[in-house]
């Protein structure tokens, strides 16, 4: 599994700590972590929570990432922005129980964590426990297990609804403000990570056009 970490500007200073916690838990599981930043609060590429949603959608829909870990001060803005796009099911996760039930019941592909609200002493430990419960077993198995069938049925219904209620991602990207999208895709390591892992020629071409690059 390829896991992308994305931080928006208000919480960029916590990026290294979050990334270390994520890698500590997931790398022994055989997962790869790609840190898309922001890496510090002073990064040249400043991501708003809206741009977090754009970047998450590009990564997930293109196959460049299988899962996105993100958040903001409260986690709410990042969650709302991510869920504004097709191909993204993002849950708001504050603790390990949230992580486990979201994975097993909702079977999403992104979580938004509050990195400021309630994030005090032991915050790094809480992150580790969240990541452990998020990835401790195959997602979508249901919780409690006797509820697995209706929960899996509801997830399929939600997926079908989203195919109707959302438009093609490339059309969305082209119609959004160009500077807003370019800003979301201008992180220091975006081109290196994205083009090496992207599985969609269509989205890759769209991104190249928006960025005005040939790579």
Q: What is the pLDDT of residue 214?
A: 58
Stretch (H or E) spanning 90 = strand 90-92
- Of all residues in the chain, the percent with pLDDT exceeding 90 is 98
Helix (H, G, I), strand (E, B) or coil at 74: coil
Round to whole Å and give the CA distance between 104 and 136. Answer: 10
* Tens-place pLDDT, residues 165-179: 999 999 999 999 999
Tens digit of pLDDT for each residue in 150-165? 999 999 999 999 999 9
Class of domain 2-211: alpha beta
Closest CA to 190 of 18, 84, 79, 38: 38
The rounded Cα 102 to chain-centroid distance in angstroms is 14
CB of 93 closer than 8 Å to CB of 130: yes
Q: Given this model, what pLDDT does residue 215 score?
A: 57
Q: Rounded to 5 degrees, what are φ and ψ at 90?
A: -110, 130
pLDDT (mean) for 193-202? 98
């Amino acid at each position: 599994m390829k896991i992308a970490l994305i931080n928006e500007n208000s919480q960029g200073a916590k990026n290294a700590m979050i990334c270390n916690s994520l890698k500590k838990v997931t790398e022994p599981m055989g997962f790869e972590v790609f840190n898309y930043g922001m890496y510090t609060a002073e990064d040249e590429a400043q991501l708003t929570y809206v741009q977090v949603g754009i970047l998450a959608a590009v990564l997930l829909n293109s196959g460049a990432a299988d899962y996105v870990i993100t958040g903001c001060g409260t986690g709410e803005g990042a969650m709302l922005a991510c869920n504004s796009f097709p191909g993204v099911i993002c849950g708001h996760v504050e603790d390990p129980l949230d992580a486990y039930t979201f994975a097993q019941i909702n079977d999403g592909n992104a979580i938004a964590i509050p990195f400021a609200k309630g994030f005090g002493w032991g915050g790094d430990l809480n992150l580790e426990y969240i990541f452990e419960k998020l990835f401790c077993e195959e997602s979508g198995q249901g919780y409690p297990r006797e509820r697995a069938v209706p929960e899996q049925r509801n997830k399929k219904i939600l997926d079908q609804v989203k195919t109707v209620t959302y438009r093609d991602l490339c059309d969305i990207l082209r119609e959004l403000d160009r500077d807003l999208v370019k800003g979301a895709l201008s992180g220091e390591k975006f081109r290196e990570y994205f083009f090496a892992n992207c599985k969609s020629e269509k989205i890759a071409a769209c991104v190249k056009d928006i960025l005005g690059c040939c790579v």
